[in-house]
Structure 1
Amino acid sequence: MAEALNIVGAGPAGASAAYAASKLGFRAVVYEANPRPAVKPCGRGIPTLSNLPFEVPKERVIADIKGAVLYVDGVKSVEVRDTVRGYIVDKEGMIRDVIASSGAELYTSSPYNASNGTVKVNGQVREVRTGLLAGGVAFYDGEKIYGVQAIVRAPRLESMDYLYIDFDTSLIGYYWIFPAEEGVEVGVGGFESPQRLRELLERYIEKHKEMLGSYSILSIAGAPIAVGGVSTGSVRGLFKVGEAAGFVLPLTGEGIRPSAISGYEAARAYLTGLDVNSVLESLNISRVVRVHRSILKALKGMSPERRRDFMFEIPAAVHEEVALGTMNINRIVKALASKPLLAAKIMKYIMIS
């Protein structure tokens, strides 16, 4: 066991790893390549489930989510209220709080060089030969898509308390509108080039100007997203965690919660002498990622028309169980009782994972 845990990356996985180390009585040192933690653009949604390894500070909650509405190619498919609950968070502030509460040392603008296993801190080179690699999608070796997101000032959605999701069968991805500090986040992710996704996003925003009101686009940013499933391993002695190891739900793109769980459990395993990769692969959240991945692969093999039919066939309760990763088999079976063929397909995706 190490006296201090080295962590490369100050995202949800890195922060949770530092938090776990503190619980076990160890000191953590966190190196972040960027000037600030959590710079990757994302929807910043976290379900209010009990499996997040730390409590979200109340002052970091931007919006309470009380439901979701799902469209498929612009046609309303599912709307749920109250059974889908969550938060939109100030991700950077939350991560800073978690790292601070752990007592970890945080060094920003300290990039990791995978070619020689070093970080640069204030111009000084340090060797980092052991620990965890939570450096994000740049270290992920599986399939990726791209997401582009705009921060939009939208007067008509100032009190938005739900998630707006529009699945696009041609993209095999979706558009989203989530609450944000200065209006809403409007984004799109799917199997297209970044340039094409930006064009589609700008067109989507213009198309929804009546919904948004007299809107103004404040900023646009994009990033790759890991959708290939869990891929554990190591780089120069550092065990991959978080999005570096594929801890993102491929169907929804949710990454904060899966990454945080992986970071916490990896740190616990590492500091207690367990096999980190085996522990990560056995987690329930890894199974959820596998289920999402198997469904995504099936969707990719369908025609756009069949994808559309498939999405409309799925009852709200099944959408909910799969999206949240709760996978309550009894609830899924009950919801699919009148659709035996669809039930067989859905259960196949769940059971083979």
Structure 2
Amino acid sequence: MSKADLSRQNKIDWMSSPASVLSEVQLLQLMTPIPGFTNFRELRILQGRPAPAFVTAWKAWNKSKIKGEKSVFPDPSRKANYDENQLWAVVEMQDAGCDLENIVLRDVWSVWDVFWGVALAIGKGEKGVRFEHRDLHLGNICIRSCRPPLEDAENTDPTSVLTAPRIHNTHRKLGFTGLETTIIDYTLSRADTADSPSPTAQDVAFLDLEADPAIFGADATYEYQYEIYRQMRSAIYYGRPLAFTSPDPYTLPAHLLEKTTWRDFHPLTNLIWLHFLLHKLLENVVWPSSDPELETTLARVDGKLKRAERRARKIERALVALRDMLDPEVLGDQVDEMGVASVGELVAVALVEGWLGEEDVVGIAGEGPWK
């Protein structure tokens, strides 16, 4: 194969197939009515070389990325990279704010609101259309504040409303910070796309990850996210995240591939990704029990400080319990009454334990993730 042919093949390998674009658009339409998922507006199919505005935006984005995170797609400004027959699927969605990869949350109030904002959305997706995201890394979760910026002359950081929000409603169990979460990017996701009298006749939008298993062989030395794909695959075929320990991550025994598929509904994958989310959120959190500057954090509280301090310590204990429940070592092992197999069951535990109230789950009026 010539160098030009090899370059062309590599470019094709990174492109989305029409079938995968159709699947994602179906999911975008399906998930839009569910709170916490991105608001899909429009799809347009274009043909030809990219317009100058697109080229400028691509270059600005690529320049902002470090080595290893730059675009895998060829430079759109070079005519040799794309021809007049190139097809583009342009998807328009509502602005959902800033992705979590670019925001560091340090207080338990923010971590709590963001975690449950995502979890409640996923739980509703599970119940409504048997949804699995299957790629819920920090870049696919956006946050924004539903409150106006603080009128603070000394504070010129536009992200402060996200990283250091005012704390309200400490008498409640959720919705302290005004941070709203939005889940995006359904490239790897799975959901039932239509009502059906039987599971065997069910229409399903999904991507068969076994068709290109390279994702399961990625190096997780510096990024735990790549371990999650292997845990997800192990959960689907073995029922537990850490059961598959083969030195060859690319190949599964044939009898397992015949037993189940990525088309089927495996809600345990959602819990594995919530484990990842919580793991990443807790990497930078400052626990109230060991915070030498707790008074500084409490200065952002609107309300009674003693009550806020008690609530912060309760949140800390609940986050630790959640971390233990979502540990891959125990997920899939239903050995006690606290074992969970889906996000819906996790929400049920939160209600029983008093971590959340019914109004947090079914929706509340006013400020918060369920406006």
TM over 0.5: no
Higher share in helix:
2
- The alignment's TM-score, normalised by the length of structure 1, stands at 0.27
- The alignment's TM-score, normalised by the length of structure 2, stands at 0.26
Between structure 1 and structure 2, the one with the greater Rg is 2
